[in-house]
Every structure is written in C-alpha cells, then in structure tokens.
Amino acid sequence: MTNFLKSIKPGQTIGIIGGGQLGQMMTLSAKEMNFKVIVLDPSHNCPASTVADEVIEAEYDDIEEIIKLSKRCDVLTYEFENVDVKTINKVKENTYVPQGTKALEISQNRVMEKEFLKRHNHPIADFVEIKDKTNLKKYIDEVGIPCILKTATGGYDGHGQVVINSEKDIEKASSLLASKARLILEKVVDFKMEVSVIISRNESGDTAIFPIIENQHRENILHISITPARITKEMEQLINKNAEEIATNLELVGTMGIEFFIDKNNKLYVNEIAPRPHNSGHLTIEACDFSQFDLHIKGICNMALQRPQLLKSAVMINVLGQHIDQVKDLLIQENAWHYHDYGKQESRHNRKMGHVTLLTDDVEKTIKELKETKIWNK
C-alpha cells in the first residue's frame, strides 16, 4: 500500500461524509482557506449544503457513491464516528484518508473503547459486557447499583441507555434486552462535573490541545458548555496528559473530543471518545484563535498545528427545536450573542438546531442572564 505522508493545499478538494452541523462548520473553515468541498449526505438540503461546493445525495452506507466521492477528492474525512470501517478501508485505494480506521473502530464499540482505555491505564467506570441477556440481575450484582445499561454500538445523546437504580428498573430494560444489540452495564459515576477536551493532531504528529471545557447535560443532551473549566491546575494537567496519550495511541488525525467525569472525591474517569469535532467544542470558534474545525481541516491536510490560544472565557448554549423560535426573536436585541443556525429544514423537540456562544469576563453572570431569558426552561 502507498505510504501517503503528504500535505493537501488550498485549491484542492476535501470530501466529507456527512453534511450535518459538524460537516457544515468543517466546510466553513475549509472554505476560508479556499478548499473545494464535496459533501455526501442523504439529504440534499443538509446543513452543509448552504456552504459546500457540492452535495452528493446518498445514504452513508452507499458504497458506490462513497467510492465516487473518493475518486473526486484529494482528502476524505467524516463528521461522525459511525462510518463503515470496511468502506473507509476500500476507498483508501482512491484517495488520502489520513484519519485511517483505528480511532473509528475503537470508538464505534463501547466494549472495544473501554478495553482500549483499560489497556492504556486510563481511568474508567467499572463495567461488564452482558453475555447472557437472560440474567441481567447477575451483572447488576457484579457492577452494583446504580448502573447504566448501554448498547455497545450506535448509541448517542443517551439513546440506547437505561439507568438502573433498583431491581425494579430491570423491567425498563426489557426492550434493550430483547434487541439484538450487544450491551454493557456500567457503574454510575457520582460526578460533580463533566468536562471535555478537544484535541487535534496531524499525520506528522503535531498535537494541539484546546482549553478544557465544562459541560452540563439535560436529558443526556449537551445543554451548556463553559471554557475554561473551573478545575484545579493539577486536574487540568491530569486531563491533558490522558488526552494526549489517547490521541497518540489512537494515531489521531484531525480533531477529536474526549469526555470525562470528575467525581466528588476528585477522581477522574474517561467516559467517551468521539474521533471528530465535538458539540462542546463549538465555542472554540469565537473563544480561541483557531477553532476545532480549523484544526480539523489543518490536521487532515497535514498542515503544521500549534496550541490554540484562549482569547476569552466563553459560554455556549445549545438551541434545540423547542428554543429556536424564541432565540430568533430575542436575537434582534442581544448584541453579544454569537448565534449559529444550522439551517435544518425541520424543527423537532430536542433536535439540535443551532447554538449561541457568548464571550464573557463573568461566566456566572452570563449563565444567569441566559436563564433569565426563560427560553431554556423547556
């Protein structure tokens, strides 16, 4: 196989599998540098369609169309981690795919992800793989209550998860147990804070780590992100050390998000790895001199990377279907809001429609002001 170690230059073509908001924001960064961008997405009106040069309308598992895309681009990337590994391996014959498949394969399966983390001595919550679905109780006794039953593949934003607080909750897990999905049971971490790290790397090994981000979820969907996270210097160093080791061991290229829990005793756990730009990192667009999308594009093009600088503290709040109308109304008077609208055709409850970022000298005051709008009460 050809050993590609090359750089992609402005004017050349980037192919992106997936044209959602992540694909859209990647495209915006790429267009600033005058790359040509072709996106593949099942929807012709996907968020990236307003900014990309071209959209190939095809399902993500349409191998023929992905092969066609690969023949037309100088480098191929993806905006989500559930891209078929076999397809990516196949199209390597046609184009530069510097991200490879190691990070994809590991992050697509929670069992592989946890085994990878354990093997490299990263702290994780206790877990077991469910091998006998008729005997959940045995596994609950092993892990301890409270615990969470999760599908090993395909879960996102809390989909495919059941929290088990007592044996009575076993009933709630019946449909997951009846499904064909591989499952794991994971101990609940009584965390005091969730944080994420965005880290970017290129094929030459330059690594750039962003300031740590503090996250709050609602119904398992990211609600608010704050940077820099309100943690000690020691914790920051420990998180960065874990993130850098994970990036190196995964042979990361492009941008990746890593989610962590910090428990009440200041113990750190790695929760999840996402080998792509991450929702919490959207605030880097305004808060840093280079955004997570800028460094994704630079990373996959094998351009030199440097550690991004934080320009100012920032708060980002997600705009879901139930918020967007009021957000648009208030936008007219909110002069400090950086509003990003993904341009999705259909608005639904809990669907990510956009986000607002605020740069601030006073994070608490900014959060209080956002609360006072009452938009995010629902």
Q: Which residues of this protein are in contact with ligand AMP, per CB under 6 A? A: 125, 148, 155, 158, 186, 188-189, 191, 194, 217, 220, 259, 271-272
Q: Least distance from C-beta 125 to ligand AMP, angstroms? A: 4
Instruction: Between 158 and 321, name the residue whose CB sits nearer to ligand AMP.
Output: 158
State in angstroms the smallest separation of the CB of 3 from ligand AMP: 35
Helix (H, G, I), strand (E, B) or coil at 154: coil
Which residue's CB is nearer to ligand AMP, number 79 or number 186?
A: 186
Q: In 3D, which of 67, 70, 21 has the Cα closest to residue 46?
A: 21
d(CA 277, CA 30): 14
> Quick check: 54 and 75 in contact, CB under 8 A?
no
Tell me whether residue 148 or residue 252 sits nearer to ligand AMP (CB atom).
148
Residue 120 main-chain phi, psi, to 5 deg: -100, 20
- Look at residues 156, 61, 94 and name the one whose alpha carbon lies nearest to residue 351: 156
Question: Do residues 130 and 285 touch, judged by C-beta distance below 8 A?
Answer: no
C-beta of 104: minimal distance to ligand AMP in Å?
A: 17
Distance CA 129, CA 106 (A): 15
Which is closer to ligand AMP, CB of 164 or CB of 303? 164
Nearer to ligand AMP, 271 or 366 (CB): 271
Using Cβ positions, the residue closest to ligand AMP within the complex turns out to be: 189
Nearer to ligand AMP, 97 or 184 (CB): 184
Kindly tell me which of 13 and 271 has the beta carbon lying closer to ligand AMP.
271
Neighbours of 265 (CB within 10 A): 7
C-alpha–C-alpha distance, residues 343 and 321, integer Å: 12
Pairing of strands 147-151, 191-201: unpaired
Residue 228: asked if its preceding bond is cis (omega within 30°), the reply is yes
Question: What are the residues whose beta carbons fall under 8 Å from the beta carbon of 96, sequence distance 6 or more?
Answer: 4, 6, 8, 74, 75, 76
Cα separation of 294 and 309, whole Å?
13
What span, in angstroms and rounded, lies between the C-alpha atoms of 100 and 105?
10
Q: How far apart are CA 377 and CA 183, in angstroms?
A: 34
Least distance to ligand AMP, CB of residue 185, Å: 10
Instruction: Give whichever of 41 and 194 is closer to ligand AMP, judged by the CB atom.
Output: 194
54 forms bridges with which residues in the sheet?
Answer: 38
Q: How far is the CB of 110 from ligand AMP (least distance, A)?
A: 8
Residue 236 has a CB neighbour count (10 Å cut-off) of: 16
Instruction: Please report how close the Cβ of residue 186 comes to ligand AMP at its closest, in angstroms.
Output: 5
Q: State which residue, 50 or 220, has the beta carbon closest to ligand AMP.
A: 220
Question: Which phi and psi angles does 348 have, rounded to 5°?
Answer: -135, 155
Nearer residue to ligand AMP within complex by CB, 194 or 203: 194
Residue with tokens 């790895």: 273
